[in-house]
């Protein structure tokens, strides 16, 4: 019942959702911050919400933590409920959802539970070599002199593989509905944001 009510109140709010997808190192975080600043969206990261829930020490948080520890994928419905709650509690009606849906099952469940279809998917398309270079640079800045780059590169490549296998079917699905806005993310952050601004111009500038 609560689920039905949640979906109902989101529809009443006439919530607009944009999914933000891109591989690790494609610059999603930087661009989301720019969109929030200029177009008044609220940025929701599925990963951040899950981490916050774990930190809260709730029963739900403990269950999530145990699943992650065991290397299991957190059920779609758990993540969707957290996203739904965050959207209802937030006064805004425009949301960027970052890093979700991670796969087709997430996508189908989100539309089924919330009864919301995204306005579009903002897809940051970046060659693997470029993302690898960015992440390694970032790791070198963050890590101690003893940090081992071969460890990093192995982990990074695994993350790319997971992204490609899981997220590309989601992108294909929305391509078939003409709902993908692809941005060449290999350029500088400023150049990328010029393209992003064009995509979001229909939403108008942030209310001053």
> d(Cα 173, Cα 171) in Å, to the nearest integer?
5
Q: Which residues are annotated as a binding site?
A: 25-30, 51, 72-74, 99-102, 106, 138, 148, 159, 187
> How many other CB atoms are there within 10 angstroms of residue 111's CB atom?
14
Q: Which positions ≥6 away from 63 have C-beta within 8 Å?
A: 78
Q: Where are the beta strands (DSSP E) in the chain?
A: 16-22, 42-45, 94-98, 120-125, 180-184
Strand 94-98 and strand 120-125: pairing?
Answer: unpaired
> d(Cα 128, Cα 198) in Å, to the nearest integer?
25
Given a contact cutoff of 8 angstroms between Cβ atoms, the answer to whether 17 and 69 are in contact is: no
Given a contact cutoff of 8 angstroms between Cβ atoms, the answer to whether 196 and 183 are in contact is: yes
Q: Which residues are annotated as a binding site for a ribonucleoside 5'-phosphate?
A: 51, 72-74, 99-102, 148, 159
> d(Cα 153, Cα 145) in Å, to the nearest integer?
16
Q: Which residues are annotated as a binding site for ATP?
A: 25-30, 138, 187
Matching residue, tokens 């990261």 = 45
């Amino acid at each position: 019942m609560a689920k039905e009510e949640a979906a109902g109140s989101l529809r009443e709010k006439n919530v607009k959702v944009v999914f933000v997808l891109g591989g690790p190192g494609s610059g999603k975080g930087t661009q989301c911050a720019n969109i929030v600043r200029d177009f008044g969206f609220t940025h929701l990261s599925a990963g951040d919400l899950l981490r916050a829930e774990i930190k809260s020490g709730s029963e739900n948080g403990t269950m999530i933590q145990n699943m992650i520890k065991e290397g299991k994928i957190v059920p779609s419905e758990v993540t969707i409920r957290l996203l739904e709650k965050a959207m209802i509690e937030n006064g805004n009606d425009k949301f960027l959802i970052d890093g979700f849906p991670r796969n087709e099952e997430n996508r189908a469940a989100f539309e089924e539970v919330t009864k919301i279809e995204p306005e579009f998917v903002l897809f940051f398309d970046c060659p693997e070599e470029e993302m690898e270079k960015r992440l390694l640079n970032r790791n070198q800045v963050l890590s101690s002199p003893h940090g081992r780059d071969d460890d990093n590169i192995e982990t990074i490549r695994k993350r790319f593989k997971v992204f490609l296998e899981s997220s590309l079917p989601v992108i294909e699905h929305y391509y078939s509905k003409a709902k993908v806005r692809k941005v060449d993310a290999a350029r500088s952050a400023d150049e990328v944001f010029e393209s992003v601004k064009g995509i979001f111009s229909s939403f108008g500038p942030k209310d001053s």
